Amino acid sequence: MTENTFKKVVNRASLTPLFKDGISILFGGFGGVGTPPGLVDLILETGIKNLTLIGTDAGFPDIGIGKVITKKQAKKLIVSHIGSNPNAGTYMNTGELEIEFSPQGTLIERIRAGGMGLGGILSDIGIEAEIVNRSKEKVKVAKKEYLIEPAITGDIAIVYAKKADYYGNLIFDKSARNSNPYVAMAGKITIVEALEIVPIGSLNPEEIITPGVFINYIVQSKGVNWQWAWEQK
Amino acid sequence: MGMGAEIRKKLAKRAAQEIKEGMLVNLGIGIPSLVPDFLPGSFPVMFHAENGIIGMGPSSEPGKEDENLCNAGGYPVTLQTGGSYCDGAMAFGIIRSKRIDLTILGALQVSEKGDLANWIVPGKRIPGMGGAMDLAAKAKKVIVVMNHFDKSGTSKLVKACTLPLTAPNCVHMIITEMGVFNVTFEGLLLTDLFEPYTFADVIAKTEAEVKRAKQIRIIKER
């Protein structure tokens, strides 16, 4: 099946009406690797504001989701790390940007819980640290104490894949997989940007990482349009 | 951290001796990333990266970088034979379920109880903990490789950490330019000395209480 029978493959610009002020956006990626460049640009082009951005880290000032942060379109981040994007730290210090830090392994499990239809997870990571435990309940299970870490979902999830078929079955590329499979599950609407859009039936069913059931829209990628830190020497 | 290249290599070489056959190892950035250079070729070990690589190989050769194959610091690496990729939840599930045999990382302060502070630099912006809390709390063995002193010349081996903790009571061994310290129930035990330092030097320069092991190994220059 090469046709767009599930009507998921769309023109990127046609998705503009989905992007509204004040929404929460989950993004795949780790330091920009695996963050969908075309969908990041779509957020920039729409100029929407007061976003809550949820993902592993704040990228770099000109890489990945960092571009949206740099343009001051976010009011809140839920991330594990902002060290590679000084703008995030600056805006946090001026009070323009609220940042909720979550340990990286806990954050991905919270996103996974959201995508899996759970209310949250129990974790003892950072249980003694005020930055982690503030305003969270504790619970004892089998005599061991855990934090109740609430699940996370988002209004829109944006992910980056190596290949998508017309149903939205996805295969990722090496370490660019990272958070993408769980981000894909946790969006009320999930958009995948794929480097290759291939006919249904052309992906090996045993090798599909994310089943297309989680994907609402598929857009064609033109690839990364930023310079990586390691290219900037 | 203002440490000369030779000293950095010396510490990495010593840390490499703690990697045993068959281990799954996670290396932090900085000196820890030099450690694989001091393992014999084809040494049976797998390196884990929290962005989803099990069996991470050396850095890519110039011109052969793959933008979708990077280490947790964002720099292009390779995959060793037998390596695999996984998603972020699995990468951290491996950590939390105590399957990392050893992590080698840097630190700002380590206390004599093995408390680790390595994620907030005082007076600077908060970078976020990333995966540091997960790794420090759950790796089976945590080795800190660091400068003995901070920029103002103060001992980083302290009685009690004054900086926010990454994880309490998690460090097993500390390697500095002065020597190697094991964290024990009786406090820090000096097991190795790097020439030209003496036990008396270490005692004089270290805020934490240090005892000497029955036998101290002297590591000569080079």
Confidence of residue B222 (pLDDT cuts 50, 70, 90): low
Residues A81, B126: C-beta atoms closer than 8 Å: no
Assess if residue A232 is contained within a domain. no
Assess if residue A130 is contained within a domain. no
Q: What is the pLDDT of residue B136?
A: 97
Q: A28 in contact with B at a CB cutoff of 8 Å?
A: no
Assess if residue A128 is contained within a domain. no
ipTM: 0.96
Domain residue limits at A81: 12-119+151-220
Positions of B marked active-site: 50
Confidence of residue B42 (pLDDT cuts 50, 70, 90): confident
Distance between CA atoms of residues A145 and A48, nearest Å = 41
Separation of first and last alpha carbons in chain B: 21
Task: Sort out which chain A residues have CB atoms less than 8 A from B51's CB and list them.
Answer: 30-31, 33, 175, 178
B80 Cα to chain A: minimum distance (Å)? 13
Q: Is the confidence at residue A76, as pLDDT, over 70?
A: yes
Instruction: Give the one of B68, B130, B165 whose C-beta lies nearest to A81's C-beta.
Output: B130
Query: Mean pLDDT, chain A, as a whole number?
Result: 97
The Cα-based distances of A124 to A94, A196, B12, B128 in angstroms read 32, 40, 31, 17
Q: Is the confidence at residue A232, as pLDDT, over 90?
A: no
Q: A79 in contact with B at a CB cutoff of 8 Å?
A: yes
Here the CATH number for the domain that contains residue A26 is 3.40.1080.10
Which residue segments constitute the domains of chain B, with CATH numbers given? 5-34+100-219 (3.40.1080.10)
Rg (CA), chain A: 18
Residue A202 CB contacts under 8 Å (≥ 6 apart), including other chains: A165
Query: What type of residue is B194?
Result: F
The tokens of A191 are what? 């958009």
Assess if residue A226 is contained within a domain. no
Residues A30, B68: C-beta atoms closer than 8 Å: no
Assess if residue A42 is contained within a domain. yes
Distance between CA atoms of residues B199 and B197, nearest Å = 7
Residue B50 CB contacts under 8 Å (≥ 6 apart), including other chains: A104, A105, B26, B72, B88, B91, B92, B95, B130, B131, B134, B135
Buried b (16+ CB within 10 A) or exposed e, B102-112: bbbbbbbbbbb
Distance between CA atoms of residues A176 and B41, nearest Å = 28
Assess if residue A5 is contained within a domain. no
Tens-place pLDDT, residues A167-185: 999 999 999 999 999 999 9
Count the domains in chain A: 1
Assess if residue A136 is contained within a domain. no
Assess if residue A132 is contained within a domain. no
